[in-house]
Structure 1
Amino acid sequence: MLISYSEEEKIFHLKAADMSYIIQICDDGKIAHAYWGRTIKNINFRNKSIISTLNYDPKVTSFNMDVLPQEYPAYGTGDFRSPAYHVQLENGSTISNLVYNSYKIYGGKPKLEGLPATYVENDDEADTLEITMIDKLTGLNVVLTYTVFKNYNVITRSTKFINYGREKLKLLKVMSASVDFDSSNYDMLQLSGSWAREKSIYRHALVPGIQAVDSARGFSSAQQNPFIALLSKNTDEINGEVFGFSLVYSGNFLAEVYVDQFLKARVNIGINPFDFSWVMTPGESFRTPEVVMVYSKNGLGDMSRTYHKLYRNRLCRGLYRDKERPILINNWEATYFNFTEEKIKDIAKAGSELGIELFVLDDGWFGKRNSDNCSLGDWVEDRNKLPNGLHKLVKDVNDMGLAFGIWFEPEMVSPDSDLYRKHQDWCLHVSDRERSSGKHQRNQLVLDLSRKDVCDEIVRFMSEILKNANISYVKWDMNRPYTEIGSEKLSSEHQRETAHRYVLGLYRVMDEITSRFPNVLFESCASGGGRFDPGILYYMSQTWTSDCTDAVERLKIQYGTSVVYPNISMGAHVSACPNHQIGRITDMETRGNVAMAGNFGYELDLTKLTEEEKIIVKKQVEIYKEIRHIIQFGDFYRILSPFEGNETSWISVTEDKKEAVVSYFKVLAEPNILPIRIKLQGLDPSTMYEIIGEDMICSGDELMYIGIEVPRETKDFSSIMWRLKEV
């Protein structure tokens, strides 16, 4: 078993691949956090140096609760740090006092009710611990669920609240997990940004007080990602301890670190309590989303690869989990809304001739959609653009040898649409308040997915389109934050449940659609990477990484995204130059080398390529088909960071270490410099590797410890890709 319990010491010891997590039940029933870190094989539980923080006396009244490291701390009983939960009684008070009641240990991992989560395929892959705590006065039961994976340094946590009392309870704050550290001598790492600048890496020292990342936009957001990590001071990609927290949730979230008066750190992560509450009548329950906690003793890179493997193999699902992803051409930046059926077929034909495998028809194919100010909700093909209908267009593209994909934005409705004119109550809104739908909201409103009838309609129209044409790919977009968050169907005391009920409705819709069409590759998009989170990956195994397609900006975006998310989850395209977002001119080779670090494709007008460009594109397509198994399923190592200098480098290595792809990028050329060497990572030191096309054979230890020389470049935005293969 991966989880053991000492009745004498009242100690739970959770062991993952190379990690221990220890919990102790105190004499007064409090559940204390003892340890999280490197594996401890044999513990003398009477060794006070190991669990000194638990050496407290409940009879001592001064500050005892304010120093006890706890597994799920409450508000109002002497702990003045930020609590893990907050509950309001019918009398208006907000004090509760949870104590230990019982535990259960079993093999495997349970599904979470209505929520995405990591999973196991066999019960021997993981063990689960459930600890039940009770508040005797109110009848509130809280079940802390821990799952330990056998082959990963991972613990997942979730919390379930059950009202066994006689009165209503209102949940005000419900964190998925809380962890108390015995120090605050850590740096906090977060992934922050904005539209077109998603997931920049920020690292800063912890200081007394609260430091947090959060979203109150209705979804996880481009501004913050539902992830933080604590890093020991010496940590880099290869060295140092890292504690990662990744929330499997797509709505409003909070990840906070509270540093107390004794310079101890507490991490809380879960649903954002801002504008949230949840009413539980007697007998009702509430389940929090899952948080995936990763420990690494070998730096940030090891943490990332743990997340990559777990999310690739035990979060993503379906046909495409283990299948190579196709190379696509998307017409968006080629045509925007201004296209005809013939133009679409011309682009598809050009793609077919270049070896591309999938054509994706983006926004503008339905209703009267000639701009972004109308027709969302009216999902019927525009016969002015597609006179022979969608079905015929799909068939014609299929006859060219390409699969066909299509764009939807199913969660939205335009005020100028037949759907809105018929069902004005179907959007999120507050009675008598103006409904924001201007330019910054992309002239659209958000459908109220907390309502079953709205969810049923989305499932109906999407199913009808997908079953009537041979569609192999869906780009599922979502292009605005949520404002006036309210629902006409909910009573006043339930209005602050709307945002979370929306997410639950979204998950139900996604689950039903992806289950009905298991052979379709679904890609999520939210103005680019605005909803790039583990919750969405459970339903859709890849995400459009950013609306910014500039290769130089993509270095930072894709590098930052790789901190948590695997390459196979990142959509990455070669676009036109000058770039449509920032106007930069970058050569086709560099644009291709950047995009080939993810799920590769093109987003430009292939019919306008020069003959020279066609040769380059055809060669890129051929190369990616040869290396995509390495990129999509290999181990990813970051070598040089675009956040720290003028150069970027990374390498993907197959699991058996027989093949690798190395990429190097230099943003600005420099005069009068000597050649540099970059030291590769992840190779087998004893293996001899051929550097394809270079007439060189080198050992793995030479490439990692001496390095590979980078030729001097005399132009800006340059790049090199090396392919390594075992001799």
Structure 2
Amino acid sequence: MKIRYTASIILFLVISYCRAQTIIPIETKDFAMVFQTDSQNRLWNVYFGKKLDNKSDYQQIDKHYYFPSSNAGMYNAAYTPSGTWNLSEPALQVKHFDGNLSTELHFVNVETQIKNEETITKIELTDPVYKLTVVLNYKVWSNLNVVEQWTDITNNENGTIELGKYASANLYFTNKDFYLTHFQGEYLKEMQPTEEKLTQGIKTIESKLGTRAMLLGTPNFIVSFESPQDEDNGLVLLGQLAWSGNYKIDFEIDSYKNLRLIAGINPYESNYSLKKEETFKTPSLIYSISNKGTGLASRQLQSWAKKYRVLDGEGDRLTLLNNWEATYFDFNESKLSKLFKDTKDLGLDLFLLDDGWFGNKYPRNNDDAGLGDWQENRKKLPNGLGYLVKEAKKNKVKFGIWIEPEMVNPESELFKNHPEWVIKQPERPAKLYRNQMVLDLTNPEVQNFVFNIVDTLFTQNPEIAFIKWDCNAVIYNAYSVYQQQNGIPQTHLYVDYVLGLYKVLERIREKYPKVPMMLCSGGGGRADYEFLKYFTEFWPSDDTDPIERIFLQWNYSYFFPAITMDCHVTNWGNQPVKLKVDVASMGKLGFDVDVSHMDGKDLDFTKRAIKNYNGFKHMVLHGEQYRLASPYENPFAALMYVEENQSQAIMFNYLSSNRFMERVTKRPIKLKGLHNDKKYRVKEINLYPDTKSTIDETAVYSGNFLMTVGINPEIDVKRTSVVLLINEVE
């Protein structure tokens, strides 16, 4: 269904009144963002808050706010231009075809499309002097209170224009106080939260790394209104810029203590030229709004992701054994065949062959050679990958493989043959990151090369069932020979690299739509909802110590459903295997272990735990998640996943502090998400051999009791993790 509106019509979403002003509400089930034109047809953001019952009431809003901005320009513009009378941080900076740097935007029309569960509103703005068109797009999933917002910028001028800044979204909030939670970090310490009250001025979170943005920070954020964020209370906006390169998100408190939020591609060294009749589409800002705290906001976003965005988000996931920590680069066919048997013996679905299987002239025996030469290493694998696929199949397990197709070692045939394919300043010494450099994906030849890596693997071995796609380098010395030779400005590189990568992934998914692929990028370097159109899952961090993973996975859960998070049991940490397995079970379970080194009880426990996981993983992957006790506020963490019909749930409880305490959980933990009137039994599973549960399995509790009083999992230094299965009593 398609409905078109102009400033002179009163229809479903647009209300006009005596001064020819137009009102445009962008509504979800519970909230509304309202725009209004003034007498000169400029468009202003006049309201964000609870949706009003009567749409005609929106025309009364503006007269009750008084925020004149003549001292600084356009505080609450729907999309703030620069160079005229605006002195605030702009969303749009343009150098017009004649060199003029000023832009003005006036409202033209609004169009709404309703398709199934999505409503898309397109607001068209134009410069009254120059033929520049800006379309603000708002895609709304009303029942989930989720909005996806982006901008289309079209050049209809008489020549090429240059975009200096081209934000995806420009939001405005008039609440009294604002608290920002953002997630910074470093390698092995990704996704570390910081909450701060925003004060007058601009707080910016950004990346200039080119790739692997989360190495230092993430494009995820939480804005809490009026008070610090709370899991179950308060108005929050939980958002992410869905872009896999450099980003910049500004949070500006203006002179009236209101919040201006401008998010988009980082303009750092990224001026972008548009020829006549060309359109630039910005990446999306995706956000979930809740008036019941971060818990509801994240459940809304997780539900949206599984149903509408993540590849195979409502499907299954394969448990796996990875050879990395068992062999590193030192393996052969015999060692791998033994690991196939271990995979089957543990009860896992898939064996994943990691780094080191390729390169001949420059063999991949460590990380300083061979990357880019994607032929089987004849010494390690004389019979090729086809033999391994068959051997895995004989053991009734699937076979997956690691690649890092965007990168190259200088010690490789690829680099020797095509040095012009590498991003590198021609007059500067090479700067390596982990002994590698980045291929220039702005170049269509390089795009074909990367696509053919994957295509050849599948063409020669069609039963490969999984791809682990790595990316370990950042972009140093940004320069493209291809762009220089084709008259493309070097300032396009950071943007066109990401767009080139998306083109490759689109081709892969067009030909191979269903094969699961993991994003693995030197830790949690590339998890975003543009990439997750093409990938089924991501690797949160190379830090797999279970204590650290409790915190990491907790923080990622604000933005991503468990079905997207790869959580592996490894040799990291000195904690018992039970804690490692229980922590990894709160996502997609995998193992990086040498099974031959496990003692008998550990091995027995692990097999039983994998069997248990296969019994409850439907709740972890597809249920609703509730965070119960934060490890930042307690010496323990607790969270649960509830089946849609509330008949079953799984609860994870972890000791997250190594300080001595006789009994960590001195009080019961209140459960969430159950049916108030249903009856439940609670059973402890994943018990280590020769241990007994302290939980009374015969007791019957009402949902009301479990959510009002709770249950004590009895975490202590001897019971460092407790997994509870909650079943409805018929």
- Quick check: TM above 0.5? yes
Q: Name 2:578's counterpart in structure 1.
A: 589
Tell me the secondary structure at the aligned position of residue 678 of structure 1: coil
How far residue 712 of structure 1 moved from its aligned partner, in angstroms, is 4.9
Q: Does 1:475 align with 2:464?
A: no
Is the 1:212–1:257 contact (alpha carbons within 8 Å) kept by the matching residues of 2? yes
Q: 1:670 is matched with which residue?
A: 660
1:322 CA displacement: 2.2
**1:119 — aligned with what?**
none
Instruction: Give the alignment's Cα RMSD to 1 decimal.
Output: 1.9
Structure 1 residue aligned with 2:399: 404
Partner of 1:38: 50
Task: Within 5 Å, give how 1:310-329 maps onto structure 2.
Answer: 310-317=304-311, 320-329=312-321
Q: Do the aligned residues in 1 keep the contact of 2:160 with 2:276 (CA within 8 Å)?
A: yes
CA gap of 1:151–1:567, structure 2 versus 1, over 3 A, is same
Match of 1:116 in 2: none
CA distance, structure 2, for counterparts of residue 45 and residue 72 of structure 1 = 24
Aligned length: 695
| CA positional deviation for 1:489 | 1.6
Residue in 2 that maps onto 1:431: 426
The residue type equivalent to 2:678 in the other structure is: T
Match runs of 1:279-358 below 5 Å = 279-317=273-311, 320-358=312-350
Larger mean CA deviation between 332-341 and 84-93 belongs to: 84-93
Measured in 2, the distance between the counterparts of 1:533 and 1:241 equals 24
* Structure 2 residue identity aligned to 1:72: Y
**Alignment partner, residue 718 of structure 1:** 720
Q: Deviations over 1:188-245 (max 9, x none)?
A: 0112211111112211100111101111101332321112221020541000000122
1:519-544 deviation digits (Å, cap 9, x = unpaired): 31111111020111111111102001
Gap runs ≥5 in structure 2:
4-11, 685-696
Q: What's 1:112 paired with?
A: none
Counterpart in the other structure of 1:126: 118
How far, CA to CA, are the matches of 1:445 and 1:185 in structure 2?
Answer: 45
Q: Which amino acid aligns with 2:16?
A: E
Matched residues in 2 for 1:699 and 1:512: separation?
52
Counterpart position of 1:680: 671
**Equivalent residue, structure 2, for 1:113:** none
Residue 669 (structure 1) shift: 4.8
Give 1:48 deviation, angstroms. 4.7
Q: Secondary structure at the match of 2:668?
A: strand
Per-residue CA shift, 1:421-469, capped at 9, x if unaligned? Answer: 10000011122122212xxx01111000011110011111220112211
Of 624, 630, 633 in structure 2, the residue corresponding to residue 644 of structure 1 is 633
For residues 361 and 184 of structure 1, the distance between their equivalents in structure 2, rounded to whole angstroms, comes to 54
Contact 2:23/2:59 (<8 A) preserved: no
Unaligned runs of 5+ in 1: 57-61, 108-122
Report deviation, 1:623. 0.7
Residues of 2 paired with 1:262 and 1:400: CA distance? 67
Which position in structure 2 is the counterpart of 1:555? Answer: 550
Alpha-carbon distance between aligned partners in 1 of 2:715 and 2:630, rounded to the nearest angstrom: 19
Question: Is residue 442 of structure 2 the alignment partner of residue 450 of structure 1?
Answer: yes
TM superposition shift of 1:13: 1.8
CA change 1:67–1:273 in 2 (3 A) is closer
In structure 1, the residue matched to 2:692 is none
Pick closer, same or farther for the CA change 1:150–1:170 going to 2, 3 Å.
same
Does the 8 Å contact 2:118/2:141 carry over to 1? yes
Output the CA distance in 2 between the equivalents of 1:47 and 1:84.
26
- Does the Cα contact within 8 Å between 2:190 and 2:214 map onto a contact in 1? no
State the one-letter code of the partner of 1:655.
Answer: E
Cα shift readout 1:468-491 (whole Å, capped 9, x = no counterpart): 111000000000111111111214
8 A contact 1:198–1:223 mirrored in 2:
yes
Q: Any runs of at least 4 consecutive aligned residues in structure 1 with deviations exceeding 6 A, and if so which?
A: none
Deviation at 1:288, TM superposition (A): 0.3
CA distance in 2, matches of 1:134, 1:64: 25
- Per-residue CA deviations over 1:19-39 (Å, capped at 9, x if unaligned) read 222111221111111222222
Match of 1:203 in 2: 195
* TM-score, scaled relative to structure 1: 0.93
Deviation at 1:54? Answer: 7.1
Which secondary structure state, in structure 1, belongs to the residue aligned with residue 210 of structure 2?
A: coil
Higher relative contact order (CA 8 A, sep 6+): 1
CA distance in 2, matches of 1:64, 1:10: 26
Distance in structure 2 (CA, Å) of the matches to 1:277 and 1:669: 52
- Distance of 1:537 and 1:308 partners within structure 2: 13
1:34/1:54 contact within 8 Å kept:
no
- Map of 1:260 onto structure 2: 254
Deviation track 1:351-400 (CA, whole Å, cap 9, x = no partner) reads 20121110000000001100000111100011111121110111101110
1:153 Cα deviation (Å)?
Answer: 0.3
Matched, 1:5 2:8: no
| Structure 1 residue 44: Cα displacement | 4.8
- Aligned identity (percent) is 30
Shift of 1:515: 2.4
Map of 1:59 onto structure 2: none
